[in-house]
Structures are given as structure tokens and as C-alpha cells.
């Protein structure tokens, strides 16, 4: 059950929420819509569900145009950030809701409904909660019930709007691992919205990075992380450092750094920015060759498994940040105010025009 999104645009008054977005969600995949708040990802999800109508464009489910069909006919399962459970119903009745509201001709018998609900509660590992009310469950449990409720109608597509957004860090991590596992079992085409890059990288088969109502890049987690198509994607997925400079004849000069940039062979004395991820910066005491730059250690922050070090570089007004593993940090035994050399391992250069 694949989804085709063709040239979808949506305005709210003067604000353009989505500008001509096209996207394909292959059947059986778990796709993440990733972007900062206000980038249009939730709007896109709601348009797929039919809870919002697009100003123009088409939505196709399995090649069939569903743009005009009502939410009820689309057979989508929708999971809300704040669960949207019916609080006057027990867990059992919540999960059974989608089946009990069917017209008599297609409604399963009482016994069948009971069986189905029990199966689903087993799937979400909450079998013994059937007679509780939502107010008696924890946040993580509520979201799992919401998921079971959405799955009860055997949706063609599962849509999740920031499903873990309201949960605390530990439950969130646990639940997303669980969602990944669940998806591997049931293979329903799923789209979920998130602003958490870690969540997208961990859970999704494919990530759609969005910004300002546009799709910036579509790809597997590896692709978007290793080969970001734009500075925005690079910036959004992980911490990066900026080195400003100029590029000419395929060679970028970025404040003491020389980088080959074959991609911009035609550029002649064009402003450019080199991007380096924090964990791609090495620190050394003694200069080994001229590809490293002199820097001074400003602050040292120990953050669990790694250590973040701010360094001041001559001619660069902003500090750069390097992330070292604890072992490397201990080995180097860095001190505040010490002079060191930094060596960027991987520099990605984009000319200024491309900048956000």
C-alpha cells in the first residue's frame, strides 16, 4: 500500500505551509517526516489522513486518487501526540471503538471483536489493562493503547503525529525501539512526524527532511547523514561547525583550511562555507602537518559518554565544538586555556548561495 503525494500546496492565510511537495512512500516502509517546528510536516501528515485539505495537488493510495475522499473512507490509522484516548471508555472499549462503530452489515460479532481486541492488547503488551480507564495508565501505556486502537481497523496506512513527543526521555527511547520492532512484525505502511533527528535515524527506513514547507532531502538514514544534500540537512542532523572562506578552481580556502571541492570546479572566488560535524574534529597536541589549525581550549563539558570541547580559532569569531570519546579525552588530558591543533576529518563545502 504505497502513498503518492503529488504537488501538494497548502496556505494558512498568508503563510505558505507547504509549497508544491511531492513524495513517494513505498509500500510497507516506515518513513519519518523530519524537520523543525513550523516546517509543514504535521500539515502534510494531516493532508495524507484527510483531516486537512490541500489547496492543490493530489494524494494517491496504491495509485488510486483519494484527494476527494473523506477521512472515514481512507482507512488510515492516526496516532496523536497527546493520545486522544476516549477517557470515559475502558481500554478495551477504546481499542474496540473502530469495530463497534461499523455498520451492522460489516461489523464483526461480539466474540470476534473480543478476540481481535485481545490480540491487539497482546501485541502492545497490555493484555491485563483491558478494564482500566486511560487515566489509570502511564503516558507510554496510553500511547500504546492509542496505537492498538488505530490498528484495530486494519488501516492501509498508519500515520503518527509526534507519537513520542509527550513522553519522558527514557520511555521515549524504549517506545521507539518497540515501534521499530512492531513495524518489522506487521509491515503496515507508516509515516511518522518528528522533530527529533535521533528518533528519525533510529526508527525510520527512510527519512524525509523538510524545511519551510519544502522537502530538502529524501533518503535512508545513512544517506541523509553521510551525504546531506544541503547545508540545512547537515545542520539539522547533528552538531556542525562552520568555516567561512572562498572557493576557486576546485579548491576551497577556509581560514587556514585547504579543501579539494571538485563539485564546484567552475566556481571562481565564490564565498563558501565548510561544514564539519563535531565528532569529525580531531585534537592533537603537536602539529603533524599543515592540514591542522591552531586553537585554544575554552571550555570542557563532560556529557555522559562523550566530552564536548569548545575551541577558539584565530580569525574565527565563533567557537568551534569538538566531541571526543571519554577515552580520547583522558588520553589527551586537555586543560582549559591550553593551545592545541585541530584537524577536521571530513569537510563538506557548500557555496554561500546554498546557505540557509
Partner 1 sequence: MKLFKPQNNVLPGFGPTLGFTLFYLSLIVLIPLSALIFRTAGLTWGEFISTVTAPRVMASYRVTFGSAIIAALINVVFGVLVAWVLVRYRFFGRRIVDALVDLPFALPTAVTGITLATIYSSNGWVGRFLEPLGIKIAFTPLGIILAMTFIGLPFVVRTVQPVIEEIEVELEEAATCLGANRWQTLQLVIFPMLLPSILTGFALSFARGVGEYGSIIFIAGNMPMISEITPLMIITKLEQFDYQGATAIACVMLLSSFLILLVVNLLQRWSRRYAE
Q: Which residues bind partner 1 (CB under 8 A)?
A: 49, 51, 71-72, 76-78, 80, 82, 84, 86-89, 97-98, 101-102, 133-136, 149-150, 152-153
Q: DSSP assignment, residue 304?
A: T
Helices and strands of the chain, counted as H and E runs: 10, 20
Residue 190 or 197 having the CB closest to partner 1: 190
Residue 90 or 251 having the CB closest to partner 1: 90
**Shortest Cβ 159–partner 1 spacing (Å):** 9
Evaluated on CA atoms 332, 335, 336, 340, the torsion sign reads negative
Kindly state the helix (H) or strand (E) to which residue 243 belongs, with its residue range.
Answer: strand 240-248
Q: Spell out the alpha helix ranges (H) of 124-168.
A: 139-152
First to last CA, the chain: 35
Residue 89 or 332 having the CB closest to partner 1: 89
Q: In which region does residue 195 sit, left (phi positive, over 0), alpha (psi from -120 to 50) or beta (all else)? A: alpha
Residue 98 or 163 having the CB closest to partner 1: 98
**Shortest Cβ 91–partner 1 spacing (Å):** 11
- Grid cell, residue 84, equals 486522544
**Shortest Cβ 289–partner 1 spacing (Å):** 59
Q: Spell out the alpha helix ranges (H) of 105-138.
A: 110-123
**Shortest Cβ 70–partner 1 spacing (Å):** 8
Q: In which region does residue 190 sit, left (phi positive, over 0), alpha (psi from -120 to 50) or beta (all else)? A: beta
Residue 75 or 294 having the CB closest to partner 1: 75
- Grid cell, residue 298, equals 575554552
**Shortest Cβ 78–partner 1 spacing (Å):** 4
**Shortest Cβ 157–partner 1 spacing (Å):** 11
Q: Are 300 and 332 in contact (CB under 8 A)?
A: no
**Shortest Cβ 79–partner 1 spacing (Å):** 9
**Buried b or exposed e, range 207-234, using 16+ CB within 10 angstroms:** bbbbbbbbbbbbbebeebbeebbbbbbb
How far apart are the C-alpha atoms of 211 and 218, rounded to whole Å?
Answer: 12
**Shortest Cβ 139–partner 1 spacing (Å):** 15
Written as one string, the DSSP assignment of 55-105 is SEEEEEETTEE-TTS-HHHH-EEEE-TT----TTS-HHHHHHHHHHTS-TT
Residue 97 or 178 having the CB closest to partner 1: 97
Amino acid at each position: 500500500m504505497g502513498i503518492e503525494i503529488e504537488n501538494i500546496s497548502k496556505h494558512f492565510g498568508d503563510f505558505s505551509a507547504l509549497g508544491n511537495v511531492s513524495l513517494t512512500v513505498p509500500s510497507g516502509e516506515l518513513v519519518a517526516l523530519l524537520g523543525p517546528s513550523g516546517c509543514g510536516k504535521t500539515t502534510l501528515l494531516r493532508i495524507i489522513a484527510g483531516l486537512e485539505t490541500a489547496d492543490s495537488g493530489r494524494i494517491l493510495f496504491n495509485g488510486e486518487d483519494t484527494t476527494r475522499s473523506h477521512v472515514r473512507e481512507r482507512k488510515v490509522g492516526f496516532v496523536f501526540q497527546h493520545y486522544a484516548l476516549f477517557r470515559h471508555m475502558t481500554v478495551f472499549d477504546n481499542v474496540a471503538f473502530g469495530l463497534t462503530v461499523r455498520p451492522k452489515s460489516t461489523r464483526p460479532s461480539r466474540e470476534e471483536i473480543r478476540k481481535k481486541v485481545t490480540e491487539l492488547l497482546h501485541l502492545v503488551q497490555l493484555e491485563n489493562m483491558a478494564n482500566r480507564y486511560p487515566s489509570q495508565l502511564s503516558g507510554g501505556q496510553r500511547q500504546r493503547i492509542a496505537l492498538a486502537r488505530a490498528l484495530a481497523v486494519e488501516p492501509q496506512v498508519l500515520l503518527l503525529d509526534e507519537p513520542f513527543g509527550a513522553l519522558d526521555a527514557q520511555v521515549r527511547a524504549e517506545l521507539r525501539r518497540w515501534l521499530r520492532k512492531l513495524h518489522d512484525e506487521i509491515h503496515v505502511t507508516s509515516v511518522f512526524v518528528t522533530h527529533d533527528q535521533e528518533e528519525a535515524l533510529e526508527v525510520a527506513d527512510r527519512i524525509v527532511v523538510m524545511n519551510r514547507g519544502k522537502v530538502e532531502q529524501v533518503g535512508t538514514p545513512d544517506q541523509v547523514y553521510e551525504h546531506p544534500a544541503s547545508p540545512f540537512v547537515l545542520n539539522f542532523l547533528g552538531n556542525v561547525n562552520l568555516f567561512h572562506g572562498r572557493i576557486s578552481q576546485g579548491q576551497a580556502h577556509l581560514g587556514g583550511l585547504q579543501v579539494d571541492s571538485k563539485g564546484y570546479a567552475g566556481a571562481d572566488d565564490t564565498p563558501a562555507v565548510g561544514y564539519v560535524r563535531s565528532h569529525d574534529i580531531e585534537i592533537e597536541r603537536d602539529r603533524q602537518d599543515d592540514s591542522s589549525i591552531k586553537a585554544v581550549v575554552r571550555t570542557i563539558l563532560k556529557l555522559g559518554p562523550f566530552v564536548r570541547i569548545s575551541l577558539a580559532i584565530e580569525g574565527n569569531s565563533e567557537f568551534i565544538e569538538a566531541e571526543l570519546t571519554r577515552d580520547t579525552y583522558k588520553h589527551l588530558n586537555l586543560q582549559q586555556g591550553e593551545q592545541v591543533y585541530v584537524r577536521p576529518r571530513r569537510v563538506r563545502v557548500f557555496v554561500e548561495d546554498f546557505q540557509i
